[in-house]
Structure 1
Amino acid sequence: MAETWVNVPEFGASEVGPGQVAGTNLHLELSGEGSLRSQLMHALREAIRSGRLAPGTRLPPYRSLAHDLGIARNTVADAYAELVEEGWLSARQGSGTKVARRATPLPPDQARRPQRQTRRRILHDLMPSSPDAAAFPRAAWLTSARRGIAAAPNNAFGVGDPRGRAELRETLAEYLARARGVRTEPDRIVICSGFAHGLKLLGSVLKGPVAVESYGLDFHRGLLEDAGLRTVPLTVDSYGARIDELPGTSAKAVLLTPAHQFPTGGPLHPERRAAVIDWARSCGGVLVEDDYDGEFRYDRQPVGAVQGLDPDRVVYIGSTSKSLSPALRLGWMVLPGRLVDDILAAKGPREMWSGVVDQLTLADFIACGAYDQHLRRMRQHYRRRRDLLASTLAERAPHIRVSGIAAGLHAVLELPKNTEDAALRAARRQGLAVDGLRPYRHPDSTMPPRDGLVIGYGTPQDHAFAAALEALCLALPDQPSDHRRKPAPARPSGGPAARKS
């Protein structure tokens, strides 16, 4: 049995002057049968029923009550979340947890029934792959739109060319050579509406099977499989995809994220970059290079594109989805010359995907230097967020290993075995949207499943980011009592020293 006096802020405490503390002492007694969470819920219900906790009273933060009662903070968080579902409490971002204002709380069975029919409200979005929408450069984009439209010839506003506007292709050829090390000409660039659109077009041109990374987007695998192409997984380790496994797959194409492997993080090792080109030359194969997170690297200059090693063996695909906004629906395919006509035939006789005005605007936005300025600003912005995420986890959850943070807008939080599902349930109770790591694993992979959370730090606005991190920390599993520091892993097989292809 545990009992204590806790300080509960009174309703109306917001009227108290600076430096003052308002609150009332509340006696809570944890006793009876069941878990500590059940005992705490029973004690809070009784305090509300008896009137000791009046409607509108703000409850202590999770950590404060957990410290006072001598129990785990997740126990308090789970109890609060369940009482919110039952109608005893209410919770709003920035306002804390309060006693609900209804006179008679709903019985538990009635309170839970609607939850099965409606999605839990999302208070904090830490899903990966989304940029900060509030940071879109509206003024500079409007300036480029006015300039681009004013300078465009009349025929720009007729039937669209499936290759894309010449102004944009010419600008991209110069920019990609300068910023990403891509070697190409404007007539080998085809504009598309994003990476998924480009991959779908390639699906009608490539021959299967297609090798893919063991961890990656199931949506991308689905696009290839919808085109009738079987996908074969390659093991992913700390050096990226195991290129030495390619000869045993009978694949004629491979899809990789060399700049920053998604979702596990890290660039493809230089020797493996050379090895995949050697493989493509030896068998007449093609590398499809998803330049994922190519613009956002924090520990050094961005890694150049593999395409620069052999433009005739690599299809390079990039987009504005992360650098500007996924709402623009603008991407580009840099193709080997022999594939251009096939891709244009697959796309159709006229442009039906990317708007001319956005293409003209992007061409001016890049040419005038605004794109470079925006990327520099966002690189600093996202680095600050990454640093705050890393420092918060180091302080609050030092037993959780964080990986994949040298680039991009996401990190992987590695969890103890068989804890991913519980962490996702805890996150939902916090109103937190996150991804688990296991769904990214190819179903045919021989790699052992890993437990983890894939955390995106690009979406929340600045004022909400700290609260999102607080919710994340509350959702993470506690450090096991038998936790011991593990020795550093040995050099993985198939690393640079073991390259076979």
Structure 2
Amino acid sequence: MTVEWARGGPDLLVALDRGAGPLGVQIQDQLRAAIRDRRLSLGERLPSTRRLAALLGVSRGTVVDVYEQLLAEGYVESAVGSGTRVAAMPAGGPVRHAPDVVAAAPPRPAEVDFEYGIPDLGSVPLTAWSWAVAEATRTLPTAELGDEDPAGSRHLREVVTAYHRRVRSGCAVAEEAVVVSGFRQGLAFALATLAQHGIRRIALEDPGPREHDVIARRAGLDAVPVPVDDHGLDVGRLRETGARAVLLTPAHQCPTGVALGPSRRRDLVAWADEVDGVILEDDYDAEFRYDRQPVGSLQGLDPAHVIALGSVSKTLAPAIRLGWVLAPPRFVAGIVEEKRLSCRGAPGLDQEALALLMESGRFDRHLRRVREIYRARRDVLAAAAELAFGPDRLQGLAAGCHALLRLPEGTSERAVVATAATMGVRVNGLGHYRFVAADAEAEPGPRPPALVLGFGNVTEQQISRGIRTLAKAVRHREIS
């Protein structure tokens, strides 16, 4: 790819020692080395002779002689109107910065990828996002181009909390919101704040999202598992742990897909009140519910004890690395301080762009459009799974972009996953999401074998083909 530069070409770092011999020879040697080492890439334009001479404080004639020598040796090429550019190096030419490294061939991509947690990347509203970024660039006052308020853009916090009240039945206000660079950053800040408030043990869903136990331990908390059943987190078992904090996915449990039942929600709130506990609510894909109205946020049910965490990774794209923490007032200052000491904040223009996207209605329109896409994929998944595996094998179809496929008793998840991979289908077993206890004696008991099927970023045709392949993989393991 040819790199086009402004008139005169780019600046170029060449260090000269005026007591170490002819300057022209030094310039030649350094340019040769830069081209050989690929620090100057194929087609890259060198500075004009006049500009390089001025940068280095040498005569233009010296630079002209250097370029002519490199041209004669084949390191550069020159054309009228194009300037002097790096020429193609011969095949097998030296690359001195990595003489002994042989790049490994990348693994062959799966033909069907049921990876959990990836939205439809082909449906990301790039046109709307481009509009929002352009509008933010045009309208954001120059005074707001410096370091942000430690809590994040006031505008975005107002928009996010209004959205949360309107769509998720929450009750947070802008003063209780902190903008972060995605869910995990917000979780790390929240956990560190809980540790400062004397909370030492946190309960996690088992099975549950990957690496939450690792993040909790890094914050200095003892992480303990609590089993999940068909009604969500077992609050009775939570009480037995002695934990004063719990992290869960109540609207659409990851990875089983169940919603926390009404009685469990009431029991959870009662537990928090009894122990002065904290409920950390991972509200990651609650907008995608297909058969009835989404279940409201726990934050609206008990704002004094719930920290709600959200992001746009599932609703827009992971690349738009923005999220938020909605916390009770007693924790907000600590979360803000954790953020202030850890980073300078999320990009201000992106925060303003997201606020405008949501405020303008474009965000809601996008959600309505992709909800129908996901609904159609869910229906194809349900039909294909019933045909291949029989009825009542899928769980968690009411919401979100993943479901749980229960395998026949005695089936080895790992064997099916490995066999499917050889057939071009990538999938994870339920065991991939099991809690890894620091204490071997605390390892949870076995669960029936199952596969976690993400359908956000696969087409309907891929879903049908993938399910047929998984059925073959199961039969193959049964026969062998």
State whether TM-score is above 0.5. Answer: yes
Identify unmatched segments of 5+ residues in structure 2. Answer: 1-103, 437-441
Identity of aligned residues (%): 39
For residue 312 of structure 1, give the secondary structure of its aligned residue in structure 2.
coil
Q: Does 1:345 align with 2:337?
A: yes
Q: Does 1:450 align with 2:443?
A: no
Q: For 1:192-231, list aligned pairs within 5 A.
A: 192-206=180-194, 207-231=199-223
- Residue 201 of structure 2 contacts residue 243 of structure 2 at CA under 8 Å; is this kept in 1? yes
Over aligned residue pairs, what C-alpha RMSD do you find?
A: 2.1
Q: Does 1:185 align with 2:158?
A: no
Letter in 1 for 2:423: Q
- Residue 129 of structure 1 contacts residue 322 of structure 1 at CA under 8 Å; is this kept in 2? yes
Cross-structure match for 1:364: 356
Cross-structure match for 1:410: 402
Q: Does 1:131 align with 2:119?
A: yes
Question: Relative to structure 1, is the Cα distance of residues 479 and 434 closer, same or farther in structure 2, using a 3 angstrom cutoff?
Answer: closer
Q: For 1:224-243, list aligned pairs within 5 A.
A: 224-243=216-235
- Residue 423 of structure 1 contacts residue 477 of structure 1 at CA under 8 Å; is this kept in 2? no
Q: Does 1:428 align with 2:416?
A: no
Cross-structure match for 1:80: none
Shift of 1:470: 3.9
Cross-structure match for 2:296: 304
Measure, in 1, the Cα distance between the counterparts of 2:381 and 2:255.
17
Question: Relative to structure 1, is the Cα distance of residues 387 and 247 closer, same or farther in structure 2, using a 3 angstrom cutoff?
Answer: same
Measure, in 2, the Cα distance between the counterparts of 1:445 and 1:479.
27
- Residue 283 of structure 2 contacts residue 310 of structure 2 at CA under 8 Å; is this kept in 1? yes
Q: Deviations over 1:457-493 (max 9, x none)?
A: 1112466444444433433337979xxxxxxxxxxxx
For residue 193 of structure 2, give the secondary structure of its aligned residue in structure 1.
coil
Q: For 1:88-167, list aligned pairs within 5 A.
A: 119-167=107-155
Measure, in 1, the Cα distance between the counterparts of 2:265 and 2:276.
16
Cross-structure match for 2:457: 459
Cross-structure match for 1:314: 306
Shift of 1:151: 2.3
Question: Relative to structure 1, is the Cα distance of residues 415 and 400 closer, same or farther in structure 2, using a 3 angstrom cutoff?
Answer: farther
Letter in 1 for 2:166: R
Shift of 1:353: 4.5
Q: Does 1:419 align with 2:412?
A: yes
Letter in 2 for 1:185: V
Shift of 1:159: 1.2
Q: Deviations over 1:271-299 (max 9, x none)?
A: 11111111111111100000132111112
Shift of 1:322: 0.5
Q: After the TM superposition, which of the residue ranges 279-288 and 400-409 deviates more from structure 2?
A: 400-409
The structure whose Rg is larger is 2
Measure, in 2, the Cα distance between the counterparts of 1:285 and 1:224.
16
Measure, in 1, the Cα distance between the counterparts of 2:339 and 2:376.
40
Letter in 2 for 1:221: D
- Residue 400 of structure 1 contacts residue 415 of structure 1 at CA under 8 Å; is this kept in 2? no
Normalised TM-score (structure 1) = 0.69
Normalised TM-score (structure 2) = 0.72
Cross-structure match for 1:269: 261
Cross-structure match for 2:52: none
Q: How many residues align?
A: 366
Shift of 1:189: 0.3
Cross-structure match for 2:162: 174
Q: After the TM superposition, which of the residue ranges 119-128 and 163-172 deviates more from structure 2?
A: 119-128
Measure, in 1, the Cα distance between the counterparts of 2:135 and 2:373.
28
Identify unmatched segments of 5+ residues in structure 1. Answer: 1-115, 482-501
For residue 476 of structure 1, give the secondary structure of its aligned residue in structure 2.
helix
For residue 327 of structure 1, give the secondary structure of its aligned residue in structure 2.
coil
Measure, in 2, the Cα distance between the counterparts of 1:124 and 1:468.
6
Measure, in 1, the Cα distance between the counterparts of 2:290 and 2:379.
10
Measure, in 1, the Cα distance between the counterparts of 2:293 and 2:168.
10
